[in-house]
Amino acid sequence: MESKLDKINKDEFYPPVPTKATLRRRRNVFLQLFHFFRLNLKIMLIVVKGHS
């Protein structure tokens, strides 16, 4: 028979389940576009700084 402690230890090996708010943010197209352009801007600033 499986004890409560065994069940708790098994749960540690699984990643946490995202909340509804987290899933909504991940699926938001406008937020994803914003993060995409922000990341590209950071990369471009590093590249431009390296060529100066």
pLDDT at 8: 62
Instruction: Tell me which residue range forms the domain holding 39.
Output: 4-50
pLDDT at 37: 98
Rounded to whole angstroms, the Cα distance separating 43 from 52 reads 15
pLDDT at 4: 65
Q: How many domains does the chain have?
A: 1
pLDDT at 32: 97
pLDDT at 13: 73
pLDDT at 51: 82
pLDDT tens digit string along 3-51?
Answer: 666 666 666 677 888 999 999 999 999 999 999 999 999 999 999 999 8
Please give the backbone phi and psi of residue 12, each rounded to the nearest 5 degrees, phi first.
Answer: -70, -20
